[in-house]
Structure 1
Amino acid sequence: MKLLVLCALVSAAAAWPNFGMMADSPGGASDAQKQHDVNSILWKIYDKIRDPHLEQLSHTFNPLSGHYDDGGVSARRLMQELNDERLLEQKHWFSLFNTRQRQEALMLYDVLEHSTDWDTFAGNAAFFRVRMNEGEFVYAVYAAVTHSHLTEHVVLPPLYEVTPHLFTNSEVIQAAYKAKMTQTAAKILSRFTGSKSNPEQRVAYFGEDIGMNTHHVTWHLEFPFWWDDAHEDHHIERKGESFFWVHHQLTVRFDAERLSNYLDPVDELHWDDVISEGFAPHTMYKYGGYFPSRPDNVKFEDVDGVARVRDMLILESRIRDAIAHGYFTGRDGSVISIRDTHGIDILGDVIESSTYSPNPEYYGSLHNTAHVMLGRQGDPHGKFALPPGVLEHFETATRDPAFFRLHKYMDNIFREHKDSLPPYTKEDLEFPGVSIDSIALNNRLETHFEDFEYSLINAVDDTTDVEDVPIDAVISRLTHNDFNIEIGITNNNGHEVMAAVRIFGWPKYDNNHVEFPFNEGRWNAIELDKFWIKLARGPNKITRSSTQSGVTVPDVPSFQTLIDMTDEALASGSALHLENYESGLGLPNRFLLPKGKTEGMEFHIVFFVSDGTKDGAVEGLHESTTFNHYGCYDGKYPDNRPHGYPLDRRVDDERIINGVSNFKAVDIKVFHVEDN
């Protein structure tokens, strides 16, 4: 996959062109038409719809007349709520962790998801766009486009250009308003929060990166905790395990960034201890005030209407007790064993807690409640009527360093379970007849910072009487030079075999330059790549580019680029090719390598080749260019092995894994090049 860096210079005309429907795809419209309508409905979300056709639909469409696969039940329910004036007003903050607001957003999601043709989908989107709270509307549209079969090939515009307030410092937003009022094109430099007197500032580039924020919210859109099989058309396989893995990877990557900046790995959070690091978000809601700050050394307090601190300790105790016993108790009293490969999936469902949790009444919702508890510590009793904190939005959560302390705490609970499982034996690890002979890099591994621009047009208030001028934020972000890895593998089986190749790496030394033992290092391993390939008889030379990594994705094109590409396809009648951006689940490609050091930072890189026929859960993985290890479109998980295999279980004696021929480790250095 290629890293795509696009400057977002957005200027919109007073009205969008209206193109007729073309019934060459499911749902009664072309993919280009669907993309056009989604673009239009999300453009300037707080202002009037600019597309004439959709604007007309917002007045004339009747949701009760649409075509649905649930008989119109969802549409009738939402219309009843609307007519009874029970929906959240417009120009008010929205949080998915607010139960009532989430219910309202999901009512609209249900209407869109159950629409069986594009006229119904687009008509509902236009109708409710002008009647529902903007935050609820955006969430519902993003969730519906992510999961609806009608929008399988639609690419969602980058959220940081749809709702820039959630991703951009308030002083930059204020400067954008000034540029708008004075009709002066502007490129506004955005800096990270904090100051040099705050050690956490050294790694702010990671948690505050808009690509990282987008990755986090995208994952939670693809694997939502509210997903209910009873109302959806498929089961999401291994959702709980994927919840563990994606947050585990964020945590170990954050620790690697800390080590590259001469900081110790992050400490876990404790409910009965102080939150040592405060945080000033420097961000504001479009409507509803500033995000609350939290001073240093705050001791956890009960949060009115959410939970008491002792409740969180009780839930933690119940979960740890289940891990120690090796089973959870279902709500019907059944015993659900977790002493197997599948146990991590159940544990993830319990900790989050998703609707898949076997007993949420007893084990609670540790993760979701913890986000609210931590987010409200600036105003736990509602004395100042502050809006939700950054931890109460997936878009903003990673900005707060305490996010990583919270997930280190949960990650250690997951590790308790993983360490309770027996280590892999030599027989579990061997791939008979296959050996890794050599590993080589084609060039020095280098990271650096680059400037990136994105549009703030949708951040400022608007009127059709005043033309837009380009207003962009300019931020510094981490990236790396592309590189190739050459892997020499010999297949002595006498016939072609399918192989799965897995690549991990971890910092070789801690902040005191003490080498991590193998068992500690493997738990901190960063997944760098995973792919399937056919090995011919005899020696094989595999060249793998960093741009091909199965764990990363390219940046989505800017909103204006999506608009231009879509309008061009519609005008010419040609196909719209956005295939490279249809899955946004992975990390940004530029984050594949952790930041290095000027003198070079040593990493221990391990390569493991296993039987691809046994490991693959779907066909054709060796031919797939869109494989992403978080799952397939229909919820099917493509790999039979656990996330992190073969490093997911404890290694009591590293000679066992080092002794198999299909495993090989090398030490490499990652260099960081400072700006001249």
Structure 2
Amino acid sequence: MKVFVLCALLATAAAWPNLGFQSDDAGGASNAQKQHDVNYMLWKVYEEMRDPAMKAIEDSFEPEGDSAHYDDDGTSIHKLMQELQQHRLLEQKHWFSLFNTRQRHEALMLYDVLEHSSDWATFTGNAAFFRKRMNEGEFVYALYAAVLHSSLTQHVVLPPLYEVTPHMFTNSEVITEAYRAKMTQTPAKIKSSFTGSQSNPEQRVAYFGEDIGMNTHHVMWHLEFPFWWDDSHESHHLDRKGENFFWVHHQLTVRFDAERLSNYLAPVEELHWEDPIHEGFAPHTMYKYGGNFPSRPDEIIFEDVDGVARVRDMIITENRIRDAIAHGYVTAKDGSKINIRDSHGIDVLGDVIESSTYSPNTQYYGALHNTAHVMLGRQGDPHGKYDLPPGVLEHFETATRDPTFFRLHKYMDNIFKEHKHSLPAYTKEELEFTGVAVDSIGVEGPLETYFEDFEYSLLNAVDDTVEIDDVEISTFVPRLNHKDFSVNIDVTNNNGETVDGTVRIFAYPRFDNNHVKFTLNEGFWNAIELDKFWVKLSPGANHIVRKSSESSLTVPDVPSFKSLIEQADAAVAGGSELHLEEFESSLGLPNRFLIPKGNSNGLEFVLIAFVSDGKADAAVENLHTNTVFNHYGHEGKYPDNRPHGYPLDRHIDDERLINELPNWSHSIVKVFNHGEHIHHH
């Protein structure tokens, strides 16, 4: 969500390095040039800079040269330079974790510097300067966050993280092979498989948690809505951030359960502080610097983690939050009461549970989610006896690899559910759309999934020198995809005039793993959101066809790092435009994950279309023309006034009310997987 802020851009001082920019936008460089610069900052981030022009800046740039180039008078750059000169920053070639308070603080100091740079020469000069001098993990995090949030970089596409820091996404066995290929200068295509073995039932759903697109989605979401975001330092407020936190993790949880159903497994049981952690986990991944990710044996009991939290404190924190839900209000720092028994309550609760800086009272309610990630991540070495590096749960890139991630989120999801079910059921007035009826919903084309090989480069995983040419080293890994289909909806508008409508499409599994039919309430809570879009309904009959590829909740795969480099280099050399608009946001789920895997018998889902009043829903002007970026918000404002998941987000007192609503319809569909695996070799 790159918010457009028109900074008063100051004329570039003559002393500033001139990189031969073509000035055609605010900030003094073309989009192609910016893309080129960001590419090279991240390419071989552990090695020497490979772009000669930018290599020259590394040492010639003077960050404190002219504070007029910063919109905070240079406050942030003076702060970071002081830390650098006093040798207080984390050294290079060392692991980095965002949940490590000091390391996060350092990464954010660099983020502030980039964020407050008012022109491109300053932004890119600082990036080149600190790339050489700061820890690589901190640098990558700060640059990703700055590119996402700075007004200078709203058209820059971030290269896929799994090709920038492949260690975080690739099994250590494969990394070792890659080093071997590099040592012998032999090109290699290495097959990756998921961690674990056939004797571990969790292995059946590893394709979900270990999918690199899923990992990227998770990390990009947390970069877009970071828990450290502080309005007093930033240019804008993140709209409905707490509610987004609830919804994105709720959807991950219900989607994971649907994958489990597809594979004849029971839904995830919630993790609890007082129960044993049944599943152990052997991550089979290693840090670039800092050894292997720690493992965790089966059936261990939660222990206090030195310097992080005690188990009993986690229980107390949880009880305070659940008390607030039962009371219907959260107590603010000053003792005043914030009502949460309304549709805005979920937003407050999300800020409290994650705990972001938006939480009204971290002193009292703690940071349940963030602390839980570290607590669980450290259970392999809770007292630091073996000096192990952070666990997979302490990085957003790797967290979903551990099946316990979903158990932890089921635990939090159930707390949110307690709140949602404490709200009054929607009334007929809150649900109906006068004069509009949904006559039918159906699917055209097969609801069929398959696996395909996905290949990505491991060039950035291996060490090298400028003198030796690269040889192609890549890995391929099976991943889920689906065949094209479309959803067809027939709507009648009896209003005698054109009206705006919001179309909301959901699907929930019809039966649980014991083949017991879900009640409407259970089904609604387990519903997967498939799409949401706006339409103009003309009087009379309307036939709506929505392709699976058009879903506003999903994004296409980002082009490979190599292709981004080639496209940007060509555009810079030819002075041409770069067209990468469709990849500018990587916030949504990968489109190939739109529907769950299903199985050879066909997993039954109830497909729902609900059409609500677009005029009442619209939080921004001209909603029906807004086809872009309906994932989580656009230019700071989430476009839909309704709560996420509306109208399925609250419990139903009387199923007849729902069944008699004219503006919704459902049908039963089956999702098939015939074990098809497409090899691209």
TM-score class, shorter? over 0.9
1:123 aligned to which of 122, 125, 128? 125
Whether contact under 8 Å (1:160, 1:167) holds in the other structure is yes
* Counterpart position of 2:3: none
- Residue 667 of structure 2 is aligned to residue 671 of structure 1: no
How far residue 471 of structure 1 moved from its aligned partner, in angstroms, is: 0.5
Structure 2 gap ranges (5+):
1-17
CA distance in 2, matches of 1:555, 1:638: 24
Identity in percent: 72
* Counterpart position of 1:15: none
Q: What is the TM-score normalised by the length of structure 1?
A: 0.97
* Counterpart position of 1:55: 55
2:604 match: secondary structure? strand
Whether contact under 8 Å (2:508, 2:527) holds in the other structure is yes
CA distance in 2, matches of 1:415, 1:439: 28
What's the CA shift string for 1:528-554, capped at 9, x where partnerless? 000001011110111100000011000
Matches within 5 A, 1:43-82: 43-66=43-66, 67-82=69-84
How far residue 440 of structure 1 moved from its aligned partner, in angstroms, is: 2.4
* Counterpart position of 1:26: 26
* Counterpart position of 2:424: 422
1:377 aligned to which of 362, 376, 379? 379
CA distance in 2, matches of 1:644, 1:26: 38
Q: Which amino acid in the other structure matches residue 34 of structure 2?
A: K
Whether contact under 8 Å (2:441, 2:608) holds in the other structure is no
Matches within 5 A, 1:75-94: 75-94=77-96
How far residue 621 of structure 1 moved from its aligned partner, in angstroms, is: 2.7
How far residue 658 of structure 1 moved from its aligned partner, in angstroms, is: 1.8
CA distance in 2, matches of 1:658, 1:564: 55
How far residue 423 of structure 1 moved from its aligned partner, in angstroms, is: 0.3
Matches within 5 A, 1:371-520: 371-520=373-522
CA distance in 1, matches of 2:523, 2:440: 22
1:104 aligned to which of 103, 106, 123? 106
How far residue 201 of structure 1 moved from its aligned partner, in angstroms, is: 0.3
Q: Which amino acid in the other structure matches residue 41 of structure 2?
A: I
Whether contact under 8 Å (2:455, 2:474) holds in the other structure is yes
Structure 1 gap ranges (5+):
1-17
Whether contact under 8 Å (1:585, 1:628) holds in the other structure is no
Q: Which amino acid in the other structure matches residue 107 of structure 1?
A: M
How far residue 635 of structure 1 moved from its aligned partner, in angstroms, is: 1.9
- Residue 645 of structure 2 is aligned to residue 644 of structure 1: yes
CA distance in 2, matches of 1:247, 1:374: 17
* Counterpart position of 2:11: none
How far residue 509 of structure 1 moved from its aligned partner, in angstroms, is: 0.6
Whether contact under 8 Å (1:19, 1:33) holds in the other structure is no
CA distance in 2, matches of 1:19, 1:210: 36
Matches within 5 A, 1:595-614: 595-614=597-616
Which is worse superposed, 40-49 or 57-66? 57-66
1:467 match: secondary structure? coil
CA distance in 1, matches of 2:416, 2:340: 12
CA distance in 2, matches of 1:33, 1:118: 10
How far residue 606 of structure 1 moved from its aligned partner, in angstroms, is: 0.9
Whether contact under 8 Å (1:621, 1:627) holds in the other structure is no
- Residue 141 of structure 2 is aligned to residue 139 of structure 1: yes
Whether contact under 8 Å (2:442, 2:667) holds in the other structure is no
Whether contact under 8 Å (1:506, 1:525) holds in the other structure is yes
CA distance in 1, matches of 2:539, 2:145: 46
What's the CA shift string for 1:439-474, capped at 9, x where partnerless? 222212100100000000000001111110111110
CA distance in 2, matches of 1:402, 1:491: 47
How far residue 624 of structure 1 moved from its aligned partner, in angstroms, is: 2.7
Whether contact under 8 Å (1:580, 1:626) holds in the other structure is no
* Counterpart position of 1:336: 338
CA distance in 2, matches of 1:537, 1:74: 58
Which is worse superposed, 561-570 or 94-103? 561-570
CA distance in 2, matches of 1:431, 1:322: 34
- Residue 245 of structure 2 is aligned to residue 243 of structure 1: yes
Matches within 5 A, 1:522-533: 522-533=524-535
2:271 aligned to which of 244, 269, 272? 269
2:565 match: secondary structure? helix
Whether contact under 8 Å (1:41, 1:126) holds in the other structure is yes
Whether contact under 8 Å (2:451, 2:480) holds in the other structure is yes
How far residue 20 of structure 1 moved from its aligned partner, in angstroms, is: 2.8
Q: Which amino acid in the other structure matches residue 60 of structure 1?
A: S
Q: Which amino acid in the other structure matches residue 310 of structure 2?
A: R
CA distance in 1, matches of 2:403, 2:206: 8
Q: Which amino acid in the other structure matches residue 61 of structure 1?
A: F
CA distance in 2, matches of 1:218, 1:153: 16
1:287 match: secondary structure? coil
Moved segments of 4+, more than 3 Å: none
Q: Which amino acid in the other structure matches residue 535 of structure 1?
A: L
How far residue 341 of structure 1 moved from its aligned partner, in angstroms, is: 0.6
Whether contact under 8 Å (2:489, 2:609) holds in the other structure is no
1:270 match: secondary structure? coil
* C-alpha RMSD over aligned residues: 0.9
How far residue 19 of structure 1 moved from its aligned partner, in angstroms, is: 7.4
Whether contact under 8 Å (1:271, 1:313) holds in the other structure is yes
CA distance in 1, matches of 2:610, 2:206: 33
Whether contact under 8 Å (1:61, 1:124) holds in the other structure is yes
How far residue 335 of structure 1 moved from its aligned partner, in angstroms, is: 0.5
* Counterpart position of 2:561: 559
1:157 aligned to which of 135, 156, 159? 159
CA distance in 2, matches of 1:351, 1:33: 41
2:468 match: secondary structure? coil
What's the CA shift string for 1:198-226, capped at 9, x where partnerless? 00000000000000000000000000000
How far residue 617 of structure 1 moved from its aligned partner, in angstroms, is: 0.8
CA distance in 1, matches of 2:88, 2:19: 36
Matches within 5 A, 1:340-355: 340-355=342-357
- Residue 665 of structure 2 is aligned to residue 659 of structure 1: no
How far residue 484 of structure 1 moved from its aligned partner, in angstroms, is: 1.1
How far residue 675 of structure 1 moved from its aligned partner, in angstroms, is: 2.8
CA distance in 2, matches of 1:28, 1:170: 43
What's the CA shift string for 1:382-429, capped at 9, x where partnerless? 000000000000000000000000000000000000000000011110
1:585 match: secondary structure? coil
CA distance in 1, matches of 2:116, 2:430: 45
What's the CA shift string for 1:125-148, capped at 9, x where partnerless? 000000000000000000000000
Q: Which amino acid in the other structure matches residue 48 of structure 2?
A: K
CA distance in 2, matches of 1:366, 1:519: 27
CA distance in 1, matches of 2:631, 2:159: 23
2:223 match: secondary structure? helix
How far residue 628 of structure 1 moved from its aligned partner, in angstroms, is: 2.1
1:673 match: secondary structure? strand
Which is worse superposed, 62-71 or 194-203? 62-71
Q: Which amino acid in the other structure matches residue 659 of structure 1?
A: E
Whether contact under 8 Å (1:629, 1:638) holds in the other structure is no
- Work out the number of aligned pairs and report it: 658
Whether contact under 8 Å (1:434, 1:492) holds in the other structure is yes
Which is worse superposed, 645-654 or 72-81? 645-654
Q: Which amino acid in the other structure matches residue 647 of structure 1?
A: L
